[in-house]
């Protein structure tokens, strides 16, 4: 058992330690696109003046991404927070495996591609260079490999982003992909094509069982070849945009590419399928549809007999999927395990959109609890509405659950995620984003009052930025402008630092900033352990504060 040592000079807060993750609420430049700065946040302002306050890194190498040019995301952010250390993440692991060629030497790849002959290799995934769920360079490398192997027929099923990249950038990626496919096809010996597609929030990429009809639409378009028909992916995007002015890529409806009046790429017996997304949360449901013999979330119809693999295994405990190309990061001894072994009762709570982040990802990509008797996980069902129509989301309900725990002394450590700044931030609706931040501020204010009354410690931070930068900002710090002179909208995460407020109303912890500065969000685990009256493990990243 991984038990923690008691702190020599501080026995822990009188009340619970509450870790609040304001998803997507970073620190921007205060420009017109900084909705965090524009929002009215009296409670966060009060905390800043009355807490130990600092900023934390939440992107790039600080969360295990390949370079510091890579933005953070909720998956890697919660991995880092929960693990207390930084592990190389899927983006880097896949990149290294592809560049070294190891992925293509593995048994799974060889089995999927070795006996295709007249059958087809299907590649399903997000067509994006956001490096959050996927990267087009990985897809390009796979296509290069299949070409060199002499695989004659390949179909790409392209999910459109507009969320981790500019909101209407799909044609950039489609045209680059079409160019590569045309070069491969030039000899006349190969038949490579885009077969189907649609926006990532309309088909295929649901998570946490929130909207299975989304996955069903993806199954029908990718596997069955059923959907609105177009001669090319480009014409599909152009037509759908004309019909729905203002629509962004993530919301584009599904399409099927046809040739001579027939779909070019339904998935049939004998084919092989690779899901090339490396992030797990939005890959698991479509993986189950291919991989689970007992699947009953929707009627799949006649299921083709295919070989299926994910580029990674998205859930090792549940073996989703059963076959994969790159071994995922092995995150051991996360914070939750230490606390459970040390007799600390825990509550994890969020709404559906981020529930898996405070449970599965926080626990090091592990399903289930470390101690059933000492841990409570609460999921509040998210609304199936566009987030800009209800920017407060389930903030009030999340807060109610936390307050019930605090006021009734149910748990020693509480972790919660408010998804608003991230989920609403991805819509690009400025007013809605501003309201979403103000909702989170109101919720934090309610929690502060309870902490005041019970003598707990409140830690408020974020996993990455989003709402803090709703217009594109150049390296010179100035807003990027479009041809009409208007700021270019931005719906993706940011490279900005995130705030960290550590509030101890009693003063008994004698909180003060530790000696080390320029820390990342991985230091939050050691910080929470200190506030609970424990000495963090030696190999954990250093605590933000000293106590006692």
Quick: pLDDT tens for 308-328.
Answer: 999 999 987 788 999 999 988
Residue range(s) in the chain whose domain bears CATH number 3.40.720.10: 14-87+331-499
Query: How far is 165 from 497, CA to CA, in rounded Å?
Result: 19
Q: How confident is the model at residue 476 (pLDDT cuts 50, 70, 90)?
A: confident
Q: Determine the average pLDDT of the residues in 386-412.
A: 97
Residue 198 phi, psi (nearest 5): 160, 170
Catalytic residue (one of 9, 40, 51, 74)? 74
Q: Determine the average pLDDT of the residues in 366-384.
A: 95
Close Cβ partners of 356 (under 8 Å, ≥ 6 residues apart): 207, 208, 281
- Residue 394 pLDDT more than 70? yes
Task: For the chain, give the mean pLDDT.
Answer: 96
DSSP three-state, residue 446: helix
CB 469 within 8 A of CB 34: yes
Q: In the structure encoding, which two tokens stand for residue 393, read together? A: 């989301």
pLDDT in tens, 170-183: 999 999 999 999 99
Query: How far is 534 from 13, CA to CA, in rounded Å?
Result: 11
Q: Determine the average pLDDT of the residues in 80-88.
A: 96
Q: Determine the average pLDDT of the residues in 47-53.
A: 98
H or E segment at 503?
strand 498-503
Which pLDDT value is given to residue 1?
A: 66
Which pLDDT value is given to residue 493?
A: 94
Query: How far is 136 from 177, CA to CA, in rounded Å?
Result: 8
H or E segment at 54?
strand 52-56
Q: Angle CA(287)–CA(288)–CA(289) in degrees, nearest 5?
A: 90
Close Cβ partners of 486 (under 8 Å, ≥ 6 residues apart): none
Which pLDDT value is given to residue 315?
A: 85
Which pLDDT value is given to residue 327?
A: 87
What CATH number has the domain spanning 91-326? Answer: 3.40.1450.10
Proportion of the chain above pLDDT 90, given as a percent:
93
SS3 assignment for 105-125 = HCHHHHHHHHCCCCCCEEEEE
Proportion of the chain above pLDDT 70, given as a percent:
100
pTM: 0.85
Close Cβ partners of 385 (under 8 Å, ≥ 6 residues apart): none
Active site annotation includes 9 = no
CATH class of the region 14-87+331-499: alpha beta
What's the chain's length in residues? 548
Residue range(s) in the chain whose domain bears CATH number 3.40.1450.10: 91-326
CB 309 within 8 A of CB 324: yes
CB 447 within 8 A of CB 402: yes
- Residue 544 pLDDT more than 70? yes
pLDDT in tens, 147-172: 999 999 999 999 999 999 999 999 99
DSSP three-state, residue 544: coil
Q: Angle CA(216)–CA(222)–CA(228) in degrees, nearest 5?
A: 85
């Amino acid at each position: 058992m991984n038990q923690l040592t008691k702190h020599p000079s501080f026995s822990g807060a009188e009340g619970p330690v509450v870790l609040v993750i304001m998803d997507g609420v970073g620190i921007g430049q205060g420009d017109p696109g900084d909705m965090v700065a524009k929002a009215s946040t009296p409670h966060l302002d009060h905390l800043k003046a009355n807490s130990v306050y600092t900023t934390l890194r939440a992107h790039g190498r600080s969360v295990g991404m390949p370079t510091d040019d890579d933005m953070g995301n909720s998956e890697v952010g919660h991995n880092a927070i929960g693990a207390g250390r930084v592990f190389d993440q899927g983006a880097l692991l896949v990149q290294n495996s592809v560049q070294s060629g190891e992925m293509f030497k593995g048994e799974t790849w060889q089995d999927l591609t070795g006996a295709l002959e007249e059958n087809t290799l299907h590649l399903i995934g997000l067509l994006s260079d956001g490096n959050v769920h996927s990267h087009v360079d990985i897809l390009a490398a796979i296509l290069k490999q299949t070409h060199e192997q002499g695989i004659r027929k390949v179909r790409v099923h392209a999910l459109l982003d507009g969320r981790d990249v500019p909101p209407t950038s799909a044609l950039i990626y489609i045209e680059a992909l079409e160019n590569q496919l045309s070069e491969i096809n030039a000899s006349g010996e190969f038949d490579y094509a885009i077969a189907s597609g649609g926006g990532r929030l309309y088909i295929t990429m649901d998570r946490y069982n929130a909207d299975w009809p989304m996955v069903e639409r993806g199954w029908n378009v990718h596997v069955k070849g059923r959907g609105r028909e177009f001669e090319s992916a480009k014409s599909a995007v152009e037509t759908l945009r004309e019909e729905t002015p203002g629509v962004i890529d993530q919301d584009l409806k599904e399409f099927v590419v046809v040739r001579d009046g027939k779909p070019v790429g339904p998935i049939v017996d004998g084919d092989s399928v690779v899901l090339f997304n490396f992030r797990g949360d939005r890959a698991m449901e479509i993986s189950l549809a291919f991989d689970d013999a007992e699947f009953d979330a929707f009627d799949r119809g006649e299921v083709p007999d295919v070989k299926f693999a994910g580029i990674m295994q998205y859930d090792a405990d549940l073996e989703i999927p059963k076959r994969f190309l790159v071994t995922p990061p092995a995150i051991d001894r996360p914070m939750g395990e230490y606390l459970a072994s040390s007799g600390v009762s825990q509550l994890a709570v969020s709404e559906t959109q981020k529930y898996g982040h405070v449970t599965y990802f926080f626990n090091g990509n592990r399903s289930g609890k470390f101690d059933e008797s000492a841990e409570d996980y609460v999921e509040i069902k998210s609304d199936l509405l566009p987030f800009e129509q209800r920017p407060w989301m389930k903030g009030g309900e999340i807060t109610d659950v936390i307050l019930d725990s605090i006021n009734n002394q149910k748990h020693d450590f509480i972790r919660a995620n408010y998804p608003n700044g991230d989920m609403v931030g991805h819509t690009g609706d400025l007013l809605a984003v501003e309201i979403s931040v103000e909702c989170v501020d109101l919720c934090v204010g309610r929690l502060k009052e309870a902490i005041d009354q019970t003598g707990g410690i409140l830690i408020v931070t974020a996993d990455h930025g989003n709402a803090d930068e709703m217009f594109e900002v150049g390296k010179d710090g100035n807003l990027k402008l479009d041809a009409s002179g208007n700021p270019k909208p931005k719906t993706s995460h940011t490279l900005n630092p995130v705030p960290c407020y550590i509030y101890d109303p009693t003063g008994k912890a004698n909180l003060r900033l530790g000696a080390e500065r320029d820390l990342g969000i991985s230091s939050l685990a050691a910080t929470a352990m200190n506030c609970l009256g424990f000495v963090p493990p030696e190999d954990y990243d250093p605590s933000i504060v000293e106590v006692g």
